Amino acid sequence: MGYGGWDKDKSGASVNSRSESRPDGGTTEHHLWDRGGDKKDHQHVVVERDSTGRVERTHAYPNKSKR
């Protein structure tokens, strides 16, 4: 499944998300996050959940320009 459009969160940052189902019943969520106004230089946050919805692990990548 692809990313949808950019939305604003409560802090005013731009957020774009997608969710993938895994064969084990869990999900992997990808969140692109930008506070600086240049969506091409976003941060990438990944959240993996088990089949009950409990967070198994998370990781984040710095702004694209710093990778």
The SS3 assignment for 22 reads coil
Q: pLDDT tier at 2 (50, 70, 90 boundaries)?
A: confident
Between 64 and 56, the more confident residue is: 56
CA 42 to chain centre: 10
- Tell me: pLDDT of 29 over 80: yes
Q: What is the structure's pLDDT at 20?
A: 96
Q: pLDDT tier at 65 (50, 70, 90 boundaries)?
A: confident
Query: What's the chain's Rg over C-alpha atoms?
Result: 13
The domain segmentation of the chain, as residue ranges, is 7-66
**Average pLDDT value over all residues in the chain:** 91
Q: What is the structure's pLDDT at 1?
A: 59
